[in-house]
Chains A and B, each alone.
Chain A
Amino acid sequence: DTGVSQDPRHKITKRGQNVTFRCDPISEHNRLYWYRQTLGQGPEFLTYFQNEAQLEKSRLLSDRFSAERPKGSFSTLEIQRTEQGDSAMYLCASSFLFSGSKNYGYTFGSGTRLTVV
């Protein structure tokens, strides 16, 4: 297992276009998280999944954003009608939750850097 993979690494798109990012978590990890990081800031939580269920979404996730994890494995994050303010690094992380116990093995991907021009 090579860790958490994100694709693409970089994406440049014109304002108004739709973009989709993919995250492949560590295979044993049942929890998957999306974060967004703008320049000079720490990452901010967007959403997370436990298996295929999306359990929490941040207020940062406007109607133009949608995330899925259809089979409880990989996840996609789609942004529709992109705006310049969407330019950021989109980070994916995964972890494994033991039932009734502590979370374990939080691992980040390398991120997808989105530039909207």
Chain B
Amino acid sequence: KNEVEQSPQNLTAQEGEFITINCSYSVGISALHWLQQHPGGGIVSLFMLSSGKKKHGRLIATINIQEKHSSLHITASHPRDSAVYICAVRKSRYPGGSEKLVFGKGTKLTVNP
């Protein structure tokens, strides 16, 4: 079982819909990242969370540390939001440990006009 699981794997929505992408993880973490990847490969960091909630424009990210769960919400979705959204966690520090990220497989979002 992967340490980071995302759902759904694929999501198709109509323009204007409210989108939710979920991420569950099974390890202790020091931070969780939400990333966006467009065709062509480049990854853009959307949020880094260690607790609570963050908002940027139409994007909202929440995290529940006790339940080991995070959600990414997109309000008033638009075709330009179509991309792969990836959840990644930074495991809790331990002596000699790295700051590497462990990634989910991503959620492919398609927003139709």
Contacts and interface: CB of A to CB of B under 8 A. Distances in A.
The interface size bin for chain B is 20 to 34
B99 A43 contact: no
Given A43-B43, A89-B41, A106-B48, 13 more contacts: A42-B86, A42-B105, A45-B102, A56-B98, A91-B41, A93-B43, A95-B99, A97-B99, A107-B45, A109-B42, A110-B42, A111-B42, A113-B41
Given A102-B31, A106-B48, A109-B42, A41 B100 contact: no
Contacts of A56: 98, 100
B31 A103 contact: yes
Give the 5 A-B residue pairs with the shortest CB-CB distance, closest first: A42-B103, A110-B42, A108-B43, A111-B41, A45-B100
Contacts of A40: 105
Interface in B1-45: 4, 30-31, 33, 35, 40-45
